[in-house]
Structure 1
Amino acid sequence: MATDYTTKNYDIEKKASAHVTSVLPVGEVEVVADHSLGEDEATLVALGYKQEFRREFSMFTSFGVSFSVLGLLPSIATTLWYGMGYAGTAGMVWGWLIAMVGIQCVAMSMAELASSMPTSGGLYYAAAILAPEGWGPLASWITGWSNWIGQVTGAPSVDYGCAAMILAAASVYNPSYVPTNYQTFLLTVLLLLVHGAISSLPTRHIAIFNSVSTWLNMGFLIIVLVIIPSATTNRDPRFNPSSEVWGTISNETEWPNGIAILMSFISVIWTMSGYDAPFHLSEECSNAAIASPRAIVLTAETGGLLGWFLMLVIAYTVRDIPAVIGSELGQPFVAYCLQVLPQKTAMAVVAMTIVCSFFMGQGCMVAASRVTYAYGRDGVFPLSWIPGTVNKYTQTPVNAVWMNTSIGILLLLLIYGGSLAISAIFSIGAIGAYVAFTLPVALRTFVVGNRFRPGPWNLGRWSRLSGTVATAFTLLMMPVLCFPTVRGADLNAQTMNWTVVVWGGPMFLAMVWWVVDAREWFKGPKINVEHQMLARPADDAAQAPSRSSSESSPAKGA
């Protein structure tokens, strides 16, 4: 029998009516159900959703998924061309440090929202709640589509990088072998299918898989951080001088040095775009209002620090940047390893990176499936009932997994458009994710302000500063992520940055859909438990007509 939930509204002090409600304070709403509710389930019902998942994630296993999605070693390996190729070693080390200031602010502000509203809808649910009167559905629509576009490109981009490393390794052992586009495509599709199968398992199996992934990712990264500087013997002196590492900008673009450094941020932003996973897994996490934000912050801080250490190691040991970037292997990290390490050691490092990349792709698939499920549950997609259904055997969103897998395979056809076309999926993931990360943060900072009701994990008086820095950082990077490396007469269809098309195109179509049709029926995230989402004075609440749960939506102005 399905769980029956109802709620009972209580008197609310006048002053409470001015506040935006997320998790309703005790005493405002009493949840009445046909069984005893734990704190997590009661919180979720207060947000408007019945419990459908098993809560088998903990803070550590949620961190495990997000750290796997971060995949520092494979992420940096896959995007080395952007950091090293755009601005050289100085761009790598300074670029990472500067970018991390903005990224940490985005992560902490997001964690504050996750504590207040721990639901799978995450960012787009928060945008609906925090938007000004009448703008909730539109804010939710923009956030949801941008986040989904970023999420759905995650696993394909990671698996493409993994496939490229595998084939580059094959080329090292067989110099006459040159990977073809169709071989790269087929291997990447195979990896996607395997990750789809794993992500369709019950939650407890996925949690175990990602716990193993976390230890491997962390362990292999530390091993690589030790191996590279200790085994670098192919040169004298063994390390580049600090003046060169920190002070020499090798600008391989046609833009000024400052712009080139900003463009190198794509490596940092794409690498550091998986820490939102605990937000989307919060309906499967115990003590979610505290565990999920802690997992977000732990991922961002650990990833930022260890990622910078790896960038330092690469910057101090790389011998010839043009040779790495222009290597015929087609994979700069493999070329770098062979340049600074004996071949057997280099291939051992590459092998560890490939293993981490495999686990990272699966983490991306899990996180994306939860976002797709939440949006399907709320009617965002055509035929939303398909991805918005939980499999009755596994209690996981299996349909959402395979919807994302199918779309990922279609995206991989960009391989046949050349290296610049397929590289767009990396910048799409970066810009799509950070637009979605920052829009609800900006609303919370500049629209809601002190009226926001924080959860048990919050930034206190530092909240506004963090939100301001996060918003400014994303506004700066949005156009930069769309810059091509060349300009003027050198700019053509082969040298352009396709991000503006591959991300901007779907977003433009989503906005056209909004204007033509969706604004008539999309009212924000659909809640499936009747309750009072917005605090109101007691006399107003008594006079307000109740709505059925099927019509309810938390978006203000709906």
Structure 2
Amino acid sequence: MTTSASPIRPIATVLSVDQIPVTSVLSNKSQRIVVDHDVDSDEAVILALGYKQEFKREFSLLTTFGVSFSVLGLLPSIASTLWYSMAYAGNAGLTWGYLVGMIGVMAVACSMAEISSAFPTSGGLYYATAMLAPPKYKAVLSWFVGWSNYFVQVTGAPSVAYGCASMILALKSFDDASYSATNWQTYLLTSCLTFFCAIIASLPTKWIAFINSGSTALNLLFLFISFVIVLGGNTREDQGLPKFNTNDIAWGITNYTEWPDGICILMSFMAVIWTMSGFDSPFHLAEECSNAQVATPRAIVLTAATGGTLGFVFQLAMAYTIVDVDSAVNDELGQPYVSYLAQILTRERVYALTAFAVVLSFAMSFSCMIAASRVLFSYSRDGCFPLSKWWSSVNPLTKTPVNAVWANWFMGELLLLLMFGGETPINAIFSVGAIGSFISFTIPTLLRITYSRKTFRKGPWNLGIMSEPSGWVAVAFVVLMIPILNFPQYRGADNTPDMMNWTVVVYWGSMFLCMVWYVVYAHKIYQGPKSNLGKESLISDEEEDNVIEAISSKGQDVQFYGEKS
């Protein structure tokens, strides 16, 4: 605790790293950190983890939840991933398949939340991996996790914006049957959306928190209105059909793959995994959040639980009202959600509900960019990327990593060129968001329940006796899903290049190149996370008395954090 309060003279704080209940790159080295100002508990933790406090902590639990819920983007995520739920397993992918998938997702989220409480830094996943891994393997494992998570982040905004552009153009086709969007029109519209999203993601933290609070309110409002209209305002009875489908139809499997029903259901988990992958965003905002060791894990669990529940309820409404799954998936509009709405609603209501999804997709896109920029910033701080000095800088005006925002935007523009190869290659970036995220989420959890089982220092938010059971369920779920997420819909001679699952190329190909780079060169310069505190800030036990004397001679008062003087 701090031993002096409201000094009249300038102060310096001496913090003992080993007295702060975290495991870090500075732990067990008898290190002291000297800073020229008062230190609160949040800054003490980030200093003990080895990093300067560079952001303003203007996010609260609710505003952090706002960003992550916007990244989750339930309505646009559901709309964009119907290819993987209905198109694989029919209505079962929307109902009981979704519920089964959520069991694994919640285990992953709860285990990650516990780890975030112990390592509340924006580079948390890869930082935690390095701290929990055997010393011999901490560099290579953290490198793998860092790049896997970065691929998720850098593909997030362009994939969501692509889905948004697709819905806009599908509405145009719905209005004018003679219109068919070209790849260039889709690319340019998507690029415009991501450009404006990058501008928003470059704003100061306080503005971002305010905007995301508004987008969270819109997410909940538009989802509720859409739910009410789908159930109460559908035109099924006008078509000579009952108001709702029977239970057998709503919960039944229609296997559109060439795999057995069990594999088919597992493949439909792609939708719930991709939809729910945004719950890690609070982890990446931990350095901008007050009371981060508690607020961050709470925001992660709240996002996953709220998103999972509301997502299931909305998809249940879809399963009980859809007229023809096959027609929705294969309609010429090219967007299953718009096709589904057109089956059950008047034209005006189709426009309205699709507009809701479009607005929320835009909000989801810039929220994805915010999280992605924090990941690039934090990893560059440790030298993981080429030109790391540029991406790890904080803009002096906005106090946000603006360079990282625009670097990710440029990478996204390159990824969007995949659409010129057809729908299958561009849809692969959705697969990257699913498989890459859950692999990076789960490796630190595996280390937590194996190698570091007895040495892990829990944060103030933890799972108690449920820590290991949750961890094992999470790991088992992801190990099961890794090969499934690479399965194509069709097999044998039917698995043509335009129908194959390009995840194998886009994700595993990229990860292979990253690991080759590490083996050939990067291992020489990357040894794992490192402190960015200057040498003048770090002192040893032997140097403490001399440093304190020097500080006092300058007319500064000295106070101690973590121990009494």
**TM beyond 0.5:** yes
Rounded Cα–Cα distance in structure 1 between residues aligned with 2:25 and 2:38: 19
- Aligned equivalent of 1:167: 169
Query: Of the candidates 246, 249, 260, which is equivalent to residue 241 of structure 1?
Result: 246
Query: Of the candidates 407, 415, 428, which is equivalent to residue 411 of structure 1?
Result: 415
- Aligned equivalent of 2:378: 374
Worse-matched range after superposition: 41-50 or 89-98 = 89-98
Query: Of the candidates 114, 120, 124, which is equivalent to residue 126 of structure 2?
Result: 124
Deviations 1:405-425 (A, max 9, x none): 000000001111111111101
Q: Does 1:439 align with 2:439?
A: no
- Aligned equivalent of 2:520: 516
**Gap change, CA 1:522 and 1:186, over 3 Å in 2:** same
**Gap change, CA 1:47 and 1:11, over 3 Å in 2:** closer
Q: Secondary structure at the match of 2:254?
A: coil
**Equivalent pair of 2:418/2:425 in contact (CA under 8 Å):** yes
Counterpart amino acid of residue 194 in structure 1: F
**Equivalent pair of 2:162/2:186 in contact (CA under 8 Å):** yes
Q: Does 1:138 align with 2:140?
A: yes
Deviation of 1:25 after TM superposition, in Å, equals 11
Counterpart amino acid of residue 338 in structure 1: A
**Equivalent pair of 1:106/1:466 in contact (CA under 8 Å):** yes
Deviation of 1:134 after TM superposition, in Å, equals 1.2
Deviation of 1:22 after TM superposition, in Å, equals 5.0
Q: How many aligned positions are there?
A: 525
- Aligned equivalent of 1:108: 110
Counterpart amino acid of residue 52 in structure 1: E
Query: Of the candidates 207, 210, 218, which is equivalent to residue 208 of structure 1?
Result: 210
- Aligned equivalent of 2:278: 274
Please identify runs of 4+ aligned residues in structure 1 that moved more than 3 A. 3-12, 22-26, 28-32
Counterpart amino acid of residue 244 in structure 1: I
Deviations 1:477-535 (A, max 9, x none): 1111110011111122111100010001110011111111122221111212379xxxx
- List aligned pairs for 1:192-341, cutoff 5 A: 192-235=194-237, 236-246=241-251, 248-341=252-345
**Equivalent pair of 1:6/1:529 in contact (CA under 8 Å):** no
- Aligned equivalent of 1:84: 86
Q: TM-score, normalised by structure 1?
A: 0.91
**Equivalent pair of 2:25/2:529 in contact (CA under 8 Å):** no
Q: Secondary structure at the match of 2:339?
A: helix
Query: Of the candidates 446, 457, 469, which is equivalent to residue 465 of structure 1?
Result: 469
Rounded Cα–Cα distance in structure 1 between residues aligned with 2:517 and 2:32: 39
Rounded Cα–Cα distance in structure 2 between residues aligned with 1:341 and 1:400: 43
Rounded Cα–Cα distance in structure 1 between residues aligned with 2:19 and 2:459: 21
- Aligned equivalent of 1:452: 456
- Aligned equivalent of 1:191: 193
Deviation of 1:233 after TM superposition, in Å, equals 2.3
Q: Secondary structure at the match of 2:57?
A: coil
- Aligned equivalent of 1:344: 348
Counterpart amino acid of residue 243 in structure 1: D
Rounded Cα–Cα distance in structure 1 between residues aligned with 2:210 and 2:14: 35
Counterpart amino acid of residue 156 in structure 1: P
Deviations 1:153-191 (A, max 9, x none): 000000000000001111122222111111000000000
Query: Of the candidates 483, 494, 498, which is equivalent to residue 494 of structure 1?
Result: 498
- Aligned equivalent of 1:476: 480
Q: TM-score, normalised by structure 2?
A: 0.90
- Aligned equivalent of 2:72: 70
**Equivalent pair of 2:25/2:531 in contact (CA under 8 Å):** no
**Gap change, CA 1:485 and 1:303, over 3 Å in 2:** same
Rounded Cα–Cα distance in structure 1 between residues aligned with 2:93 and 2:314: 14
Deviation of 1:345 after TM superposition, in Å, equals 1.2
Rounded Cα–Cα distance in structure 2 between residues aligned with 1:197 and 1:529: 30
Worse-matched range after superposition: 166-175 or 424-433 = 166-175
Gaps of 5+ in 2: 1-10, 543-565
Rounded Cα–Cα distance in structure 1 between residues aligned with 2:19 and 2:440: 35
Deviations 1:79-137 (A, max 9, x none): 11210010011232111111101100110111111111100111000000000121111
Deviations 1:204-244 (A, max 9, x none): 11111111110001111111111101011233201110122
C-alpha RMSD of matched pairs (Å): 2.2
Counterpart amino acid of residue 36 in structure 2: D
Q: Secondary structure at the match of 2:383?
A: coil
Counterpart amino acid of residue 288 in structure 1: A
**Gap change, CA 1:346 and 1:73, over 3 Å in 2:** same
Rounded Cα–Cα distance in structure 2 between residues aligned with 1:353 and 1:124: 33
**Gap change, CA 1:241 and 1:10, over 3 Å in 2:** closer
Rounded Cα–Cα distance in structure 2 between residues aligned with 1:392 and 1:270: 35
Q: Secondary structure at the match of 2:332?
A: coil
**Gap change, CA 1:147 and 1:198, over 3 Å in 2:** same
- Aligned equivalent of 1:152: 154
Rounded Cα–Cα distance in structure 1 between residues aligned with 2:89 and 2:260: 10
Counterpart amino acid of residue 379 in structure 2: Y
Larger radius of gyration between Structure 1 and Structure 2: 2
Q: Identity rate of aligned residues, in percent?
A: 55
**Equivalent pair of 2:284/2:375 in contact (CA under 8 Å):** yes
- Aligned equivalent of 1:549: none
Rounded Cα–Cα distance in structure 2 between residues aligned with 1:353 and 1:485: 27
Deviation of 1:4 after TM superposition, in Å, equals 8.2
Counterpart amino acid of residue 284 in structure 1: E
Gaps of 5+ in 1: 13-18, 532-540, 544-558
**Gap change, CA 1:119 and 1:11, over 3 Å in 2:** closer
Counterpart amino acid of residue 403 in structure 1: A
Deviation of 1:450 after TM superposition, in Å, equals 2.8
**Gap change, CA 1:4 and 1:142, over 3 Å in 2:** farther
Deviations 1:345-387 (A, max 9, x none): 1211111111111100010010001001111111101111111
**Equivalent pair of 2:236/2:242 in contact (CA under 8 Å):** no
Q: Secondary structure at the match of 2:208?
A: helix
Q: Secondary structure at the match of 2:388?
A: coil
**Equivalent pair of 1:414/1:421 in contact (CA under 8 Å):** yes
Rounded Cα–Cα distance in structure 2 between residues aligned with 1:5 and 1:417: 58
Rounded Cα–Cα distance in structure 2 between residues aligned with 1:176 and 1:9: 68
Counterpart amino acid of residue 387 in structure 2: L
Rounded Cα–Cα distance in structure 1 between residues aligned with 2:271 and 2:93: 11
- Aligned equivalent of 2:46: 44
- Aligned equivalent of 1:179: 181
- Aligned equivalent of 1:538: none
Counterpart amino acid of residue 172 in structure 1: F
**Equivalent pair of 2:25/2:530 in contact (CA under 8 Å):** no
